[in-house]
Amino acid sequence: MRAFYVRLRSVFGEICVLKILLLIAIGFVVLAVIRSYQRSLNKPSAPAKRETIVEDMVKCAHCGVNLPRSEAIYSGGDFFCTPEHKQLGKK
């Protein structure tokens, strides 16, 4: 009978260890889920927050190609795509 109790206790002991391990595992999983959730909250949703820089498009007075204003060469009231076209002037 005593041996039975010892065996019972050891079985319960194993169950307790398994429960503790299971709780630790669950704890890690919960922590990982919370962390990933927080990360997804902190991370800005890419399409919504991405600012699209809409730049003015200007037309080359020589060849008529459209290019951003910042890349265009302004001369005498007209925009040009390249210094060559600026030299060639308005068509």
Contact set with Zn ion (CB under 5 A): 60, 62-63, 81, 85
Q: Tell the smallest beta-carbon distance from residue 77 to Zn ion (Å).
A: 16
Q: Tell the smallest beta-carbon distance from residue 79 to Zn ion (Å).
A: 9
* Centroid of chain to Cα 74: 38
Dihedral sign for Cα atoms in the order 59, 61, 65, 68: negative
Judged by CB, which is closer to Zn ion: 13, or 83? 83
- Residue number with the smallest Cβ distance to Zn ion: 60
Q: Tell the smallest beta-carbon distance from residue 64 to Zn ion (Å).
A: 7
Check if the beta carbon of residue 62 is closer than 8 Å to that of residue 80.
yes
Check if the beta carbon of residue 63 is closer than 8 Å to that of residue 87.
no
Judged by CB, which is closer to Zn ion: 16, or 63? 63
H-helix or E-strand spanning residue 68: strand 66-68
Judged by CB, which is closer to Zn ion: 14, or 84? 84
